[in-house]
Amino acid sequence: MALGALATIAAAAPANLSVVVLDNRHYGETGMQKSHTGFGVDLAGIARASGFAWSEAVTDMGGVDDLKGRLTRRQGPGFASVLISAEEDAPKVLPPRDGVELKNRFRRQFGLPTI
């Protein structure tokens, strides 16, 4: 999701939308380089400045539990950035890059014939 999407959501102001970002502050698919948030960019602050009805940063499991209880009671659009660990528990698996296979996989999910 690009930053411009936050402005678009805020401008449309859908009352029934909450965006929750799980942020490990790294780019996992390209070698675990620090992402912008790893260098201090505040996504919750950007969402707030864009015009979201509510925005918050969650940094621990207590905050996650609190957020779960509030999500259904809040009017949106809302935004929560949930900081998660960047530890590697499982090996990385990159998606296939074969265009025909990607198309066919998509079609199979909808019960459509593959071509």
Residue 57 has pLDDT above 70, yes or no: yes
Q: Which domain holds residue 37?
A: 3-109
Task: Report how many domains make up the chain.
Answer: 1
In a domain, 37, yes or no: yes
Residue 55 has pLDDT above 80, yes or no: yes
Confidence (pLDDT) at 89 = 66
In a domain, 115, yes or no: no
pLDDT band at 90, cuts 50/70/90? low
The percentage of residues in the chain with a pLDDT greater than 90, rounded to a whole number, is 47
The tens digit of pLDDT for each residue in 15-28 reads 999 999 989 998 87
Widest Cα–Cα separation across the chain:
49
In a domain, 92, yes or no: yes
In a domain, 114, yes or no: no
Q: Mean pLDDT highest for which of 46-60, 62-76, 89-103?
A: 46-60
In a domain, 64, yes or no: yes
CATH number assigned to the domain comprising residue 69: 3.40.50.970
Confidence (pLDDT) at 65 = 85
DSSP class per residue in the chain: --HHHHHHHHHH--TT-EEEEEE-SEEGGGT-EE-TGGGT--HHHHHHHHT-SEEEEE-SHHHHHHHHHHHTTS-SSEEEEEE------S---PPP--HHHHHHHHHHHTTPPP-
